[in-house]
Structure 1
Amino acid sequence: MEAAISTLITEFKKYAGKDGSSSTLSKDEFQSLVSSQLSHFVKNASDPGTIDQLMGSLDENNDGELTFTEFWQLIGKVACQQGCFSQ
């Protein structure tokens, strides 16, 4: 599990550093990350409307960017769905 957590942190930082703050994901960075890293787990991952809806549901402070903590919610939801755990 330690390797999985390290990978999640590394990938978040890789995408977050592309434009603006290196500690948050912009909409474009988030779409790029989801499309390339979670396309099998997020239905319609390349659809801008899907990304808008998903980002809106995760962006707790409505600042248009996702912190790692906000992003982590998506990882939890995806893991629960894949593991057939109730939410």
Structure 2
Amino acid sequence: MESAILTLVSQFKAYAGNDGAANTLSKDEFHSLLTSQLPNYVKDSGEPDFVGRLMSSLDQNDDGELTFAEFWQLIGKLASKQGGFSPS
């Protein structure tokens, strides 16, 4: 699990800060991360502006950027879904 956490953190950091704050993801950075690291998740959505709506649902303080804690919500949801765990 430690290597999985290190991978998640390093991927977040690799995409964060390319066009703004170094510790947050802008919408474009989030879109890039999703399409390169979670392509099946984005591809299977089939909804227009899926990334924008997803980002809005995760952006708790509505600042247009995702902190790692906000991004982590998505990872938790995806892991729960993958594991067959019901949402709480």
* TM-score over 0.5 (shorter chain): yes
Equivalent residue for 1:3? 3
> 1:1-87 counterparts in 2 under 5 A?
1-42=1-42, 43-44=44-45, 49-87=49-87
Q: 1:19 Cα deviation (Å)? A: 1.1
Counterpart of 1:30, as a letter, is F
Counterpart of 2:45, as a letter, is N
CA distance in 2, matches of 1:52, 1:71: 13
Identity %: 60
Q: 1:27 Cα deviation (Å)? A: 0.2
Give the unaligned 5+ runs of structure 2: none
Give the unaligned 5+ runs of structure 1: none
Q: 1:73 Cα deviation (Å)? A: 0.1
Secondary structure, aligned partner of 2:52:
helix
Counterpart of 2:71, as a letter, is F
CA distance in 2, matches of 1:14, 1:4: 15
After superposition, the Cα gap between the structure-2 partners of 1:6 and 1:48, relative to the gap in structure 1 and judged at 3 Å, is: farther
Q: TM-score, normalised by structure 2?
A: 0.91
**Higher relative strand content:** 1
Counterpart of 2:17, as a letter, is G
Q: TM-score, normalised by structure 1?
A: 0.92
Q: CA RMSD in A?
A: 1.5
Counterpart of 1:79, as a letter, is A
